[in-house]
């Protein structure tokens, strides 16, 4: 039987609910409630929480209070609080708010890139370069995201080579890891394996990657299991399966953190997360 990457090591669960989940809520959640949500998630043992996004308040009004939320959260030395920073201005605001890590987000689909961040893939990469340089200069690690790695709501299936070129560009500019986002949840176990093997063939090993699956067609846990088999040891998830994407029609929520932790526990994999406390937070 194929061995999981996690046979010899723990899997790191990246909680994206406070950002990727709440950005899609129809109404704005108060800053105090967001901070309490983050505090509860941290208390469950989650060590990496994506707290918010320093994007334009006009683009995502649900996250306009990012700085306030971070000021209200109880900080723990063992918990990394991260935020999305699409440009240098966003990075400056995030650093002022005291984030531990930042993230830039691109796409493998030209149309989605235009709809989501109003520029081409190439333009987005040029925009991210100074963000990465400034973050690294400030001693803050940068995570990269690539959306629509298996399919796009506008273009349909996305070929693995298109994903690979964006992933390699993000790593080359200083991202410490890149999260592969199946934004509309159309991927299957077969898609996942083919993509990861193409990336490996192109010189991008699993240690540089994270898995980020949405559960639109109920395939997310199967995709996570395949990613683990292929050596990926970082999994993004959202408490209660929160999420979607304002710019991806038809996308449903992220894979639920509690489902991922339950599956990993069943495989004998250590996540460091107390499932009962996580259920309380969700």
Which of 266, 224, 220 is CA-nearest to residue 243? 220
Query: Please, what's the b/e burial string for 36-55 (b: 16 or more CB within 10 A of its CB; e: otherwise)?
Result: ebbbbbbbbbbbbbbbbbbb
Q: Quote the crossing angle between the two packed helices 160-172 and 121-137, to the nearest 10°.
A: 30
Check residue 184 and report its DSSP letter: T
* Cα 174 from Cα 270, distance rounded (Å): 29
Token pair of 133, please? 């340089």
Which of 224, 220, 188, 190 is CA-nearest to residue 209? 224
What is the number of alpha carbons within 13 Å of residue 252 lying toward its C-beta? 13
* Cα 11 from Cα 264, distance rounded (Å): 8
Q: Assess contact for 275 and 265: CB atoms under 8 A.
A: yes
* Cα 20 from Cα 210, distance rounded (Å): 15
Q: Assess contact for 62 and 22: CB atoms under 8 A.
A: yes
Q: Assess contact for 62 and 23: CB atoms under 8 A.
A: yes
Active-site position among 132, 148, 152, 245: 245
* Cα 272 from Cα 234, distance rounded (Å): 13
245 is catalytic: yes
Q: Are strands 156-157 and 151-152 parallel, antiparallel or unpaired?
A: antiparallel
* Cα 241 from Cα 165, distance rounded (Å): 29
Catalytic residue annotation: 245
């Amino acid at each position: 039987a194929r061995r999981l990457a996690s046979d010899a090591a723990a899997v790191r669960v990246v909680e994206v609910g406070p950002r990727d989940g709440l950005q899609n809520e129809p109404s704005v959640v108060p800053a105090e409630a967001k901070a309490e949500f983050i505090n509860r998630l941290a208390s469950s043992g989650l060590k990496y929480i994506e707290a918010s996004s320093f994007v334009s308040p006009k683009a995502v009004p649900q996250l306009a209070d990012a700085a306030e939320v971070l000021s209200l959260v109880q900080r723990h030395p063992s918990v990394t609080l991260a935020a999305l920073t699409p440009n240098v201005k966003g990075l400056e605001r995030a650093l002022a708010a005291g984030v531990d890590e930042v993230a830039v987000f691109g796409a493998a689909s030209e149309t989605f890139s235009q709809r989501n961040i109003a520029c081409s893939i190439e333009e987005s990469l040029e925009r991210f370069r100074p963000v990465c340089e400034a973050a690294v200069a400030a001693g803050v690690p940068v995570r990269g995201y690539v959306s629509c790695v298996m399919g796009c709501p506008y273009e349909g299936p996305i070929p693995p080579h298109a994903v690979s070129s964006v992933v390699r560009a993000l790593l080359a500019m200083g991202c410490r890891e890149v999260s592969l986002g199946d934004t509309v949840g159309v991927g299957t176990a077969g898609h996942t394996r083919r993509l990861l093997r193409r990336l490996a063939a192109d010189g991008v090993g699993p240690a540089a990657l994270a898995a980020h699956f949405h559960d639109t067609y109920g395939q997310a846990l199967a995709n996570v299991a395949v990613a683990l088999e292929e050596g990926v040891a970082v999994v993004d998830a959202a408490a209660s399966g929160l999420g979607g994407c304002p710019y991806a029609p038809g996308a449903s929520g992220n894979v639920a953190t509690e489902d991922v932790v339950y599956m990993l526990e069943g495989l004998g994999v250590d996540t460091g997360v107390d499932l009962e406390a996580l259920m309380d937070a969700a």
